[in-house]
Amino acid sequence: MNKELRESILKSLKEGIRFDGRKLDEFRKIEVETGSINTAEGSAHVKIGNTEVLAGIKLQIEEPYPDTPDEGMMMVGMELLPLANPEFESGPPTEEAIEISRVIDRGIRESKCIDMKKLNVKKGEKSWAVMVDIAPINDAGNLLDAGSLAAILALKNTTMPEFDGEKIDYKKKTSKKLPLGKLPVSVTIAKIGDYFIVDPSSEEEEALDAKLTVASLDDGTLCAMQKAGYKPLSEDDIMKMIDMSLKAAKKLRVYHEKA
């Protein structure tokens, strides 16, 4: 960890201001666009400050898992492309990439926002598999929240291709959307010293002690959590971070309607 960086970040936090001039609970500028990738069944392009991610949905027909023969499937993958950050390397997914993918996956899965039963075509034989792939273009911090927002917007944007019972015709899109219910929002709160911040930048990520990602629904139900970073958190810390996350989630939820 870069000691000087951490000290100067702490110094400015003491004055109630972030390294880049933001308030503690302030996001960077958010821009969203959906449907810009026409090869995907659904897509979203999300920018949070200089952090930029693409999410695309591909649908395919597969045999359901033996323990859920009457349900569809979903998979979330974020590959940390070496294009997006000089620290990322080519090769098999790193632990970091696997963690981000799994935390986003859990947020979507545990919120039950996709009605998996409706994705079953023939019990025990055929179900729709929803493949959510997220690609970072530029990593300026907080890829997780950006990726999660992009994934949800891409799911909302998805239209089903035509399926005749045997083969999918990807060229023919129907007007049918995915069976979606209440949508989750993931917000990561970082802890640096005694301070809590939303939407950490690259510099803040380098200096943080711990962070907590909370996925929640609009009624305040928590549906997934993950603590990261190497310092422990007190119960009091955790409660504060959850409150802050729920508050911030309201700001992100606005973008569900915009796209």
The residue behind tokens 């035509």 is 162
The residue behind tokens 């004055």 is 15
Distance CA 100, CA 188 (A): 11
User: For the chain, what's the residue count?
Assistant: 259
For residue 203, give the 3-state DSSP assignment: helix
Pick between residue 77 and residue 179 the one whose CB is nearest to other proteins: 77
Pick between residue 64 and residue 244 the one whose CB is nearest to other proteins: 64
Pick between residue 130 and residue 217 the one whose CB is nearest to other proteins: 130
Q: How far is the CB of 243 from other proteins (least distance, A)?
A: 32
CA distances (Å), 145 to each of 45, 46, 100, 155, in order? 13, 10, 10, 15
Pick between residue 37 and residue 233 the one whose CB is nearest to other proteins: 37
Beta strands 126-138 and 73-78 are parallel
Q: How far is the CB of 134 from other proteins (least distance, A)?
A: 9
| Other CB atoms within 10 A of residue 15 CB | 7
Pick between residue 65 and residue 170 the one whose CB is nearest to other proteins: 170
Q: How far is the CB of 56 from other proteins (least distance, A)?
A: 3
Which parts of this chain interact with other proteins (CB under 8 A)? 37-40, 43, 50, 52, 54, 56-58, 60, 77, 79, 81-86, 90, 92, 131, 133, 135, 137-140, 170-171
Distance CA 111, CA 102 (A): 14
Q: How far is the CB of 88 from other proteins (least distance, A)?
A: 9
Distance CA 13, CA 15 (A): 5
Q: How far is the CB of 191 from other proteins (least distance, A)?
A: 25
Q: Is the dihedral of CA 225, 200, 234, 230 positive or negative?
A: positive
The residue behind tokens 């015709």 is 169
Pick between residue 64 and residue 191 the one whose CB is nearest to other proteins: 64
Structure tokens at 35: 């449907």
Q: How far is the CB of 110 from other proteins (least distance, A)?
A: 23
Can you name the residues that pair with 188 across neighbouring β-strands?
213
Pick between residue 25 and residue 138 the one whose CB is nearest to other proteins: 138
Q: How far is the CB of 129 from other proteins (least distance, A)?
A: 9
Can you name the residues that pair with 159 across neighbouring β-strands?
177
Distance CA 109, CA 101 (A): 12
